[in-house]
């Protein structure tokens, strides 16, 4: 056991060096009024066979995001270890307190784990769990696919995502992995992350990192589940963990992934005040700069007509508002543009 794993308070039953199929539960301490030695069990699977890369598959980092949980759980329950060459670590419900509560934030300490990385071994439950993921799980991985959706707060165009990495070779390797995953879109973020996400942790360790947005609005997106399951299968094929070629046909008859970009400065559109937001377009629709993105209705005020919010740029809608009622400062729409790297390819 490494010094980093010894520092974690979470017990891991998996021997990452062992061949074959292992399934069990991380045991995370959670002292409560009626159970001072209480623990929370987090499912984990490790399949290893022969030599090959290690692919880490994570779902349920946000509890109200279902497609990745479903796709990873099904794969973990059904994949024959003899079919693989290498290792697959699967955690379909990383943030299980949030998963079982059907919430984005942890019901234990109110934190968003995806804003807590690299975490703290002696911190609150969520910080402790983030620290475990970074210090115990990630050192084993060569490739990480962290499956998200936009949860209750939004809907999204079905997509993978990645950062506009400063290392050109790593960026090209990640772009190739995204293309192999085969979602309709791949979104490259330029200046969007504050460094506290799981993705940033993965990147700091030099591991290929892909995220996804494959649903939202608090329901299971049927095509999102299909793309999640196929994308995982495609990634395993791309990295040689299972045999075969990635399937890149799209449901609309097109082929392959359209690489896009979200830049911080004008991709995000915010509500100017509290109200009921009426969007004009669905995620995935093409929109023009200056066109109406939606109307904000101030139902309680007889003197305020609907407030039009317009697109700051042309592009394709990546995320659109979900819940109807929004607060001043909430993002109601994110527009992506076609991929044009800030840094020249090497």
In the bound state with Ca ion, the residue whose beta carbon lies nearer, of 49 and 161, is 161
Q: Is 103 in the site for Ca ion (CB under 5 A)?
A: no
Encoded one letter per residue, x for contact with Ca ion by CB under 5 A and - for no contact, window 134-163 reads --------------x---------------
Q: Which of 26, 24, 48, 27 is nearest to 37 (CA)?
A: 27
Size of residue set near Ca ion by CB under 5 A: 2
In the bound state with Ca ion, the residue whose beta carbon lies nearer, of 87 and 203, is 203
- Minimum distance from CB of 261 to Ca ion (Å)? 19
In the bound state with Ca ion, the residue whose beta carbon lies nearer, of 48 and 156, is 156
What would the 3-class secondary structure string for 302-333 be?
CCCCCEEEECCCCEEEEEEECCCEECCCCEEE
**Interaction with Ca ion in 59-98: which residues (CB under 5 A)?**
62
In the bound state with Ca ion, the residue whose beta carbon lies nearer, of 184 and 275, is 184
Tokens of 30: 């959670």
Choices 54-62, 166-174, 193-201, 257-265; region in contact with Ca ion by CB under 5 A:
54-62
- Minimum distance from CB of 105 to Ca ion (Å)? 11
- Minimum distance from CB of 62 to Ca ion (Å)? 4
With contact defined as beta carbons under 8 Å apart, do 92 and 73 qualify?
yes
**Per-residue CA distances from 160 to 149, 175, 183, 230, 308 (Å):** 10, 10, 6, 13, 30
Query: Is the preceding omega at residue 118 within 30 degrees of 0, hence cis?
Result: yes
CA pair distance 131, 137, nearest whole angstrom: 9
In the bound state with Ca ion, the residue whose beta carbon lies nearer, of 84 and 227, is 227
Q: Which of 73, 148, 145 is nearest to 104 (CA)?
A: 148
CA pair distance 61, 344, nearest whole angstrom: 33
Choices 58-66, 92-100, 179-187, 219-227; region in contact with Ca ion by CB under 5 A:
58-66
Tokens of 222: 């049927």
> Which residue lies nearest Ca ion, judged by its C-beta?
148
Using CB under 5 A as the criterion, which residues of the chain lie in contact with Ca ion when the complex forms? 62, 148
């Amino acid at each position: 056991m490494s010094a980093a794993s010894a520092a974690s308070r979470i017990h891991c039953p998996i021997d990452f060096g062992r061949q074959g199929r292992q399934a069990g539960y991380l045991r995370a301490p959670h002292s409560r009024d009626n159970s001072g030695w209480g623990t929370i069990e987090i499912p984990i699977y490790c399949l290893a066979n022969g030599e090959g890369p290690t692919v880490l598959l994570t779902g349920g980092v946000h509890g109200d995001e279902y497609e990745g949980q479903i796709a990873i759980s099904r794969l973990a329950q059904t994949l024959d270890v003899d079919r693989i060459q290498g290792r697959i670590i699967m955690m379909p419900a990383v943030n299980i307190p949030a998963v079982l509560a059907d919430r984005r934030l942890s019901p234990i300490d109110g934190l968003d784990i995806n804003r807590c990385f690299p975490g703290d071994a002696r911190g609150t439950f969520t910080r402790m769990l983030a620290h475990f993921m970074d210090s115990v799980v990630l050192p084993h991985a060569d490739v990480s696919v962290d499956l998200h959706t936009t949860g209750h707060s939004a809907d999204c165009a079905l997509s993978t995502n990645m950062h506009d990495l400063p290392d050109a070779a790593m960026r090209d390797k990640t772009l190739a992995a995204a293309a192999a995953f085969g979602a309709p879109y791949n979104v490259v973020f330029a200046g969007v992350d504050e460094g506290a996400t799981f993705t940033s942790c993965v990147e700091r360790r030099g591991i290929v990192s892909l995220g996804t947005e494959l649903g939202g609005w608090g329901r299971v997106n049927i095509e999102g589940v299909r793309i999640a399951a196929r994308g995982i299968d495609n990634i395993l094929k791309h990295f040689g963990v299972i045999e075969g070629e990635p399937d890149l046909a799209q449901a609309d008859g097109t082929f392959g992934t359209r690489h896009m970009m979200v830049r911080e400065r004008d991709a995000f559109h915010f509500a100017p005040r509290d109200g009921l937001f009426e969007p004009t377009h669905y995620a995935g629709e093409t929109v023009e700069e200056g066109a109406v993105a939606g109307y904000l209705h101030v139902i309680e005020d007889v003197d305020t007509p609907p407030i039009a919010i317009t697109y700051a740029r042309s592009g394709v809608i990546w995320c659109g508002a979900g819940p109807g009622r929004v607060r001043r400062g909430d993002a109601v729409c994110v527009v992506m543009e076609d991929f044009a790297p800030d840094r020249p390819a090497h």
